[in-house]
Amino acid sequence: MTKSNYLDYYKNKKILVTGGAGAIGSRLVRRLLNLEASVVVIDNLTSGYTWNLPQTDNILFIKGDITNEIDLKRVFKERPTVIFHLAAFFANKNSIDYPEKDLHTNGLGTLKLLEYSSFYGELDRFVYSSSSSMYPADASLPYKEEMSTMHLGTPYQITKMLGELYGNYFYKQENLPITHARFFNSYGPGEVPGEYRNVIPNFIYWAMNKKTLPITGTGEETRDFTYIMDIVDGLLRLGYYNEAIGEAFNLGAGREIKIKKIAELINKLTENKAGIDYLPRRSWDTKLKRLASIDKSKKLIGYNPEYKLEEGIKYTVKWFEENWRKINKNSEF
């Protein structure tokens, strides 16, 4: 199937995006609107912001929760063709501090959404946002989709795996056309900094405030940082290609980047002279290195990340500069 086919598919389709006011969700919504889709967003705004979303006639925003029966009935009344399930109680540290909230949203919320999707029975695709954090800490690199472990380090990792297990059940028993997207350290416009947020928006926020950038560890730790629009492209492919049904796919950049390099690059781009401060590694953070194998994603859905690291960081810094007043007001620090 050609590139134009998977993009053309979304024209005039009704698409549901849960968590659509978040970083990845809002960029996905914007892309879908550009493809002339009609988009329904449900978000409880605990970690998303309506100002992240465009104001157009083709978007219906519902402030609601995926654990709430009334809210679910409301969104399914719109009769979506594809569901992108991005709503989550986000972040490993957040789940350690509030494990019951994590289970309520990521466990019960996902289960309820799957149940409604199964009862509804008219979906072409259900795309579940999973996480690369569920891979074993001692696994050899790069991480391949078939790797798994029952020894997980945070409630977030547990509930993300739980979502996949429930998804597999509904695929096998209810014929729900589901696919799992395992994100690797996404970054880009749309993410407001805060205690439970990712390292790149926090680094940019501190650097723009001319503060020292804290690294928990030696800085030699690596992650597979993936620009948000590459993630969005992967999601659109998963929503279209039949080869994706019943499978899990890594959505990463396929490269290792040292945390120290990220801090140095951000300090350079923001002209921050405060430098870097090295702190003790967090007890739950046992993965010193992380790297995605994207061979399966390339082969089956044509996924091919395009954005270079410095290019993506520049776009993100520019978004911070353009939205600084809103970001500063809503920052969770």
6 carries an active-site annotation: no
Q: Averaged over 162-184, what is the pLDDT?
A: 98
**Domains of the chain with CATH codes:** 3-190+225-255+290-307 (3.40.50.720)
pLDDT exceeds 70 at position 2: no
**CA neighbor of 16 nearest in space, from 37, 36, 47:** 37
pLDDT exceeds 70 at position 328: yes
Residue 222 half-sphere exposure, CB side, CA atoms within 13 Å? 12
Q: How confident is the model at residue 90 (pLDDT cuts 50, 70, 90)?
A: confident
* pLDDT tens-place string over residues 14-27: 999 999 999 999 99
Strands 38-43 and 14-18: parallel
The one catalytic residue among 156, 166, 171, 196: 156
* pLDDT tens-place string over residues 25-68: 999 999 999 999 999 999 999 999 999 999 999 999 999 999 99
Residue environment code for 144-153, b if the CB has 16+ CB neighbours within 10 A, otherwise e: ebeeeeeebb
pLDDT at residue 136, as a whole number: 87
pLDDT at residue 306, as a whole number: 97
Please say whether the beta carbons of 236 and 6 come within 8 A: yes
pLDDT exceeds 50 at position 264: yes
* pLDDT tens-place string over residues 211-235: 999 999 999 999 999 999 999 999 9
| DSSP string across 129-191 | EEEGGGS-TTPPSSB-TT---S--SSHHHHHHHHHHHHHHHHHHHH---EEEEEE-SEESTTP
* pLDDT tens-place string over residues 110-145: 999 999 999 998 899 999 999 998 898 888 999 999
pLDDT exceeds 50 at position 182: yes
Nearest-angstrom CA–CA distance, 134 and 27: 24
pLDDT at residue 331, as a whole number: 85
Quote the pTM value.
0.96
Nearest-angstrom CA–CA distance, 45 and 193: 15
pLDDT exceeds 50 at position 1: no
Q: Averaged over 181-198, what is the pLDDT?
A: 95
Nearest-angstrom CA–CA distance, 251 and 139: 18
pLDDT exceeds 70 at position 3: no
Q: How confident is the model at residue 332 (pLDDT cuts 50, 70, 90)?
A: confident
pLDDT at residue 119, as a whole number: 95
Please say whether the beta carbons of 310 and 318 come within 8 A: no
Q: How confident is the model at residue 4 (pLDDT cuts 50, 70, 90)?
A: low
Mean pLDDT computed over every residue of the chain: 95
pLDDT at residue 284, as a whole number: 76
